[in-house]
Amino acid sequence: AQRVTQPEKLLSVFKGAPVELKCNYSYSGSPELFWYVQYSRQRLQLLLRHISRESIKGFTADLNKGETSFHLKKPFAQEEDSAMYYCALGGNNRLAFGKGNQVVVIP
């Protein structure tokens, strides 16, 4: 069975401070991992995926198979980063989402 855990529901950070959103997964196969983001009044959209190994909007995420984690990081938070973030695991026949993290960046 696929399972994604995002432990913190709400994360408040000051502008310029580092942000780290934790994501742990459970899956017996080879995982495909994603971070999706939903800004206020916008639709859910892909932020990044582990396979591309790229930085998007200053965010990076590294797949750690030993710790079964895919944490999202950004060294300096910006106000426009305030949003809902979902970690997702692709496997079997579906994409399983975590419960999401609400990030609030305080000016």
Give contact residues for other proteins (rule: CB under 8 A).
6, 9, 32, 34, 43-46, 49, 51, 86, 90-100
Give the C-alpha distances (Å, rounded to integers) separating 47 from 29, 35, 40: 23, 5, 15
Residue 100 beta carbon to other proteins: minimum distance, rounded to whole angstroms? 5
Closer to other proteins at the Cβ: 46 or 106? 46
Residue 103 beta carbon to other proteins: minimum distance, rounded to whole angstroms? 15
Closer to other proteins at the Cβ: 26 or 92? 92
Cα separation, 97 vs 78, in Å, equals 25
Element (H or E) spanning 75, and its range? none
Closer to other proteins at the Cβ: 69 or 78? 69
Within 8 A by CB and 6+ apart from 42, the residues are: none
